[in-house]
Amino acid sequence: MKSSGSILRKKLLRDIKEQKGLFAATTFILFLGVTIFCAFYLSYLNLNDTYESFYESSNFEDISVKAVEITEEEIERVKKLDGVLEVQPRISVSGKVKVDGKEVAALVISLPEKETINRLYVAEGERGFAVIKKFADYYGIEVNTPLEVSFAGFEYKKPLEALVYSPEFILIYEEGEETFTPSPGSYAIVYIPEKDMLKAGLKFNELKIRVAEKERNEEILRKVLTILGDKVEEFHTGENQVSRKLLKEDLEGFRGLAVLFPAFFILVSIFMTYALLSRIFRLQLGNIAVMRALGFTRNEIMLHYLQYPLLMGFFASTAGLVAGFFASQLLTSQYITFLNLPYYVSKPHLEVYSLSLMAGTLTPTISGFLVAYQASRVDIVKALRGYAEVAAVSFIARIDALFSRIWRMRLIFRLALRNIFRSKRRTAISIFSIVACTSLILNSMVFVDSFDYVMQLQFGKVYAYDIKVSLEGYDGKEVLEKVRKMDGVLFAEPAVEMPIYVEKGGEAVPTLLIASNFQTLYNVYNAEGEKLIPSEGIIFSKTAMKNLSLVEGEKVSVYTEFGKLEAEVEDVEMIPLLSVATASLDYFSRISGVDGFNRIVVDADEGRIAEIAEKIRQMDGVKKVSTVIEAQESIEELMGFFYAFIAFSLFFGVSLGFAAVFNTTSISVIERSRELATLRMLGYTSREIIISLILENLFVAILGLVFALPIAYSTAYFFFSSFESELYYMPMVIYPRTFAATVLAVFAIILLALLPSARRVSEMDIAKVTKEIVS
């Protein structure tokens, strides 16, 4: 005689085979949740490990200070400060690199004979005259290729000795420009041996410092600032270095993403598991009574029904863990290609693997336990009577009567409406699935719409010019007059762009100052699209300055390339995209004592922009020329990974919606098989019954969207806000067309998910179904 365990295992396999579609859909959603969690969270850990490994191996700076000039005496005084381990003085100046017949703006940095801080990673060649590898790859430059660099009136030309990576420039930030990550070919980082730069007559103007205790960074920084006095132009601690800070904020957003997205799938899988097992329980109520009568204990029955979610969880979590691991490797490697890193680190993270297996297995088991416990407590006598689902008859009857009197609705319409309220639990699960699906779609699209809004504002109103000219100094009046007289130039305006540090109460925050006459070509707008026109002071970004709590009318210290200045706060506004500060040219001239400008913005004939830009590049005193078209192309290139990620998210959102609706619809059709077969016997066609199913799901979709849209908007706001940064700001925008597209997508997903059920109704064997005991 077979053991009870053998009988129950055989029954388990038979049940799974009979309901393989429903089991597969529920397992698939759970699989997606585990996969996304593993892929995103392991990618987050991989990137974090990669950054920290690179920073540690390069002996990354704890403190950095830039001044007009730093003497040997000042360097020695800094070295003697208590808590200072190492001090690396260096030279950093703007320059140009001649490549492919054109000049490219560059940052030229001295390379000491013995690197102690911010050590370079040599990818090719041997340590010496070097450029960042990504720049070299962009132009096809190889080691031993002669390269000409000009800086501070000095021409330096010799064969390139190395292609390198630097911990300071994992993300490249061009000082004094409104961009974090220019195209690899638009800005060069060049390292020239220190002795050669000293021979050119240059002086040290930067200090890179390592300290014994990180907790004392701010204390030691203040002492260094005291030693250097008003000569200081820029300073930061290692944690606040622009590239590192942006990477850290990006990682935190990635971490939130790794938790929020999988949560939707896991929550839906809990409800779907409950719905699936409840359906099996109701169908097998008579069988359970017989099993109890034959001597199966309550514990055996409970353990039997717990095996369903355990199996689903086991297969989903193990497959999801494997798929998520490989997806994380792909995601990490692709992400690294957008950064200046030589490698990525992928360590085993047993805690993540364990958490994935536990979450994937326990979450369906928790919901399954409720059904399993209910099955083990079945009353034999009542169970043998069969299962009857109780509906809210009086409520539905009133609605039914109302619709019948007004529209004289046919039975199939009333049937669709009645079935929504007859199974409240299933309807609630369907609504929750629609909420989750809608949230995933809007959470993805909010980034697309917000970015589109900012780009339209930036390139439609802020950058009203076609060409921006960066000058080598602030004496650009002669260049401005030449540009204005050029054929094809419609208008040209002077401006200033300058990186500054704003200090208040001992804390300093970096930002970019833009000074202009704000006539027509170069403007700054707030988040509401209002043009900002400063007069007697500086308008600061509320996002960038939130830690300083600036108040209108107060005085603050501003560190610039001209030393320490005092400025008045005219206002604090929410400024989209990069968190800039803005002032009038007259006010800038008064506080700095500089009667000049270092930028020229140009409006040119549309068909001659490239031609005019090239002519301006040949002028003396011009450091760099860029066009708005080039800036747009650079951003589009950088956004490739972003749009791929959005497509990835949308795919999972659609998959979630399809699988969830498929499950609930299939369960509904199976449970109502006898009812639907009876309708067929009464003369209703398969088409009419399918229409009833479509109407039922459309009613559920409409009801679900009433809840889904406000909930999805709230989750999108929460999710979007988690990416807020001091370095940039994007207002949250969701276009009406996105809401409309989301609603249409939900309806399309529901109709597609109905296809298997429609086929089941069309192929229904009436004679067979009427003999079955169903609800």
State the DSSP code for 532: P
Mean pLDDT (whole number) for 130-158: 90
Between CA 356 and CA 361 the distance in angstroms is 8
Helical pair 640-671 and 628-638, crossing angle rounded to 10 deg: 40
Q: Tell me: pLDDT of 96 over 80.
A: yes
Between CA 151 and CA 168 the distance in angstroms is 21
* Phi, psi (rounded to 5 degrees) for 58: -95, 0
**Tokens 């208008």 belong to which residue?**
491
Give me the sign of the Cα torsion angle 758, 763, 767, 772. Answer: negative
Query: Which H or E run includes 773?
Result: none
Q: Tell me: pLDDT of 640 over 70.
A: no
**How far are the Cα atoms of 114, 127, 173 from residue 120, in angstroms, in the given order?**
11, 9, 17
- Residue 192 token pair: 């020239």
- Least confident range of 36-40, 300-304, 463-467: 300-304
State the DSSP code for 530: P
Q: What is the per-residue pLDDT for 220?
A: 92
Q: Tell me: pLDDT of 180 over 50.
A: no
- Residue 653 token pair: 């959102």
Instruction: Give the rounded distance of the alpha carbon of 115 from its chain centre.
Output: 36
Q: Tell me: pLDDT of 211 over 90.
A: yes
Ranges of H-type helices in 458-535: 477-484
For residue range 679-735, what is the model confidence (pLDDT) as tens digits?
777 777 777 778 778 888 888 888 888 888 998 888 888 777 766 666 667 788 899
Give me the sign of the Cα torsion angle 765, 767, 770, 774. Answer: negative
**Tokens 């086929």 belong to which residue?**
759
Give me the sign of the Cα torsion angle 28, 30, 34, 39. Answer: positive
- If pLDDT is split at 50, 70 and 90, which confidence band does 767 have? low
Please tell me whether residue 346 adopts helix, strand or coil conformation.
Answer: coil
- If pLDDT is split at 50, 70 and 90, which confidence band does 3 have? low
Task: Report the residue count for the chain.
Answer: 775
The DSSP annotation for 278-328 comes to: HHHHHHTHHHHHHHHHTT--HHHHHHHHHHHHHHHHHHHHHHHHHHHHHHH
Which range of 104-118, 517-531, 667-681 scores highest in mean pLDDT? It is: 104-118
Between CA 385 and CA 379 the distance in angstroms is 10
The count of other CB atoms within 10 Å of the CB of residue 380 is: 12
Residue 462 or residue 213, greater confidence: 213
9 by Cβ neighbours in 10 Å (0-12 / 13-18 / 19+) ranks as: middle
Q: What is the per-residue pLDDT for 773?
A: 44
687: CB partners within 8 A, 6+ apart: none
**How far are the Cα atoms of 33, 107, 185, 231, 614 from residue 102, in angstroms, in the given order?**
51, 16, 11, 34, 9
Q: Tell me: pLDDT of 751 over 70.
A: yes
710: CB partners within 8 A, 6+ apart: none
The DSSP annotation for 695-708 comes to: HHHHHHHHHHHHHH
pLDDT averaged over every residue in the chain: 81
Q: What is the per-residue pLDDT for 638?
A: 64
65: CB partners within 8 A, 6+ apart: 206, 207, 209, 221, 224, 225, 228, 232, 234, 235
Q: What is the per-residue pLDDT for 263?
A: 74
Residue 729 or residue 410, greater confidence: 729
For residue range 58-85, what is the model confidence (pLDDT) as tens digits?
999 999 999 989 999 999 999 999 999 9
Mean pLDDT (whole number) for 510-527: 81
Closest of 630, 647, 626 to residue 638, by C-alpha: 630
Between CA 312 and CA 364 the distance in angstroms is 8
**Residue 235's beta-bridge partner residues?**
65
The DSSP annotation for 78-118 comes to: HHTSTTEEEEEEE-EEEEEEEETTEEEEEEEEEE-SS--SS
Please tell me whether residue 533 adopts helix, strand or coil conformation.
Answer: coil
**Residue 510's beta-bridge partner residues?**
501
Between CA 397 and CA 641 the distance in angstroms is 54
Closest of 30, 23, 526 to residue 280, by C-alpha: 23
- Residue 345 token pair: 């680190």
Mean pLDDT (whole number) for 102-109: 87
- If pLDDT is split at 50, 70 and 90, which confidence band does 641 have? low
Between CA 711 and CA 698 the distance in angstroms is 19
CA neighbours closer than 13 Å in the CB half-sphere of residue 686: 10
- If pLDDT is split at 50, 70 and 90, which confidence band does 542 have? confident
Q: Tell me: pLDDT of 392 over 50.
A: no
SS3 content of the chain, % helix, strand, coil (to 5): 55, 20, 25
Q: What is the per-residue pLDDT for 1?
A: 43
Between CA 709 and CA 718 the distance in angstroms is 14
User: What's the pTM?
Assistant: 0.72
